[in-house]
Amino acid sequence: MAFDPADEQASSRRARCALVTPRVDTRAERRELWFETALGTCGVRWSERGISEVVMPRARVTSPARAGRSTRVGPSTAAPDAVRAAVAGIVALLGGERRDLRSIALDERDVDPFRRRVYAATREIAPGATASYGEIARAIGEPEAARDVGAALGVNPYPIVVPCHRVLSASGGLHGFSAPGGLATKRRMLEIEGAPGFTQQALFG
């Protein structure tokens, strides 16, 4: 086939157009708040639709008296009451109270429909209880999708609020926790909640 410079130029123009096609960045309207918990400094980011991300503890706090203290709100705006309530619930839960966080609104615009179903089912697991990946798969009507459930929870942007730490392997073992501290953090959270098979000893030992 003969080379046609016009075709190459058209292709090049299409490529350049693809590179400069504007995309709506839903993160631009989000705000963040950092606060202390019994496990360390956590954060939440939110938009007008709800919590868009929960950031897990980055370091253990030195004093329980600091738990619940806000460290930064940005940019230059006070957190709305709903966000303050969400933070209070997270602080209480990580402090040992059996708080129900299902009323916290989430911004799920960046979450595909399958993950939304997984997260909704996971939010039904009460503090102190656990479920397996297979049980979550069956709860959403996808009994063969245990691995996909695990993958969805592995990229959960709302840990604690969507309590992926309560989801265990079929044998009841710890598996796949991508937050800082990995499986040690998952175990500590289950210990705090008094989940079956987990004790507080490792947390305070």
Catalytic sites, residue numbers:
164
| Predicted confidence (pLDDT) per residue in 12-53, tens digit | 433 333 333 323 334 445 589 999 998 889 999 999 999 999
pLDDT at 21: 30
Residues 138 and 185 placed together within one structural domain of the fold: yes
d(CA 48, CA 30): 8
CA distances from 98 to 9, 120, 144, 184, 199 (A): 64, 19, 31, 20, 15
Tell whether the model's pLDDT for residue 144 goes beyond 90.
Answer: yes
Residues 122 and 193 placed together within one structural domain of the fold: yes
Residue 48 lies in a domain: yes
- For residue 136, the domain's CATH number is 1.10.10.10
| Predicted confidence (pLDDT) per residue in 77-103, tens digit | 578 999 999 999 999 999 999 999 999
Contacts 24+ apart (CB under 8 A), 88-93: 90/35, 90/37, 90/42, 90/44, 90/54, 90/160, 90/161, 91/35, 91/36, 91/37, 91/38, 91/67, 93/127, 93/160, 93/192, 93/193
Q: Which residue has the tokens 């989801």?
A: 167
- State the CB neighbour count (10 A cutoff) for residue 80: 12
Residue 22 lies in a domain: no
Residue 166 lies in a domain: yes
- Sequence length of the chain is 205
Residues 159 and 199 placed together within one structural domain of the fold: yes
Confidence of residue 56 (pLDDT cuts 50, 70, 90): confident
Residues 119 and 200 placed together within one structural domain of the fold: yes
Tell whether the model's pLDDT for residue 108 goes beyond 90.
Answer: yes
Residue 137 lies in a domain: yes
Residues 196 and 162 placed together within one structural domain of the fold: yes
Residues 70 and 139 placed together within one structural domain of the fold: no
Residues 125 and 84 placed together within one structural domain of the fold: no
- Give backbone dihedrals phi and psi of 46, rounded to 5 degrees, phi first: -145, 160
Residue 81, domain extent: 28-94
H or E, element range at 197: none
Residue 77 lies in a domain: yes
Task: Give the global pTM.
Answer: 0.73
Residue 14 lies in a domain: no
Domain count, the chain: 2
Residue 160 lies in a domain: yes
Listed residues 94, 125, 140: the one ending a domain? 94
Q: Decide: helix, strand or coil at residue 131.
A: strand
Listed residues 39, 65, 94: the one ending a domain? 94
| Predicted confidence (pLDDT) per residue in 174-198, tens digit | 665 656 566 777 888 899 998 888 8
